Amino acid sequence: MIRTATRSAGRSMAIALRIALFSSIFIAPVGAFAYSAANTAGNGLSGAGFVLFVSLQRNAG
C-alpha cells in the first residue's frame, strides 16, 4: 500500500514539474516581450501596433 502511494505521489510530482516546465517555456517569451515593450519610450502608437489598434477600434463599433 505504501509503495502505491509513493508511486502515485512521484508520478504526480513528475506531471506537476512537466506542467511547470512547459508553462514557463511558453509564457517566458511573452513576458520578455511585454517587459521590453513596456520599457520603450513614447506612447507606443506607431507601426503595426498602431494599425492593429485602429482596426480593432473600428471593428468594435
**The domain containing residue 40 runs over which residues?**
2-60
pTM of the model: 0.48
- In this prediction, residue 17 carries a pLDDT of 95
- Quickly tell me which residue has 485602429 as its cell: 54
- Contact predicate 44/37, CB 8 Å: yes
Tens digits of per-residue pLDDT, 9-61?
Answer: 889 999 999 999 999 998 988 888 888 877 665 555 667 777 888 888 887 76
- 3-state secondary structure (DSSP) of residue 61: coil
d(CA 48, CA 61): 21
Task: At 23, list the grid cell.
Answer: 508553462
Report the number of distinct structural domains present in the chain.
1
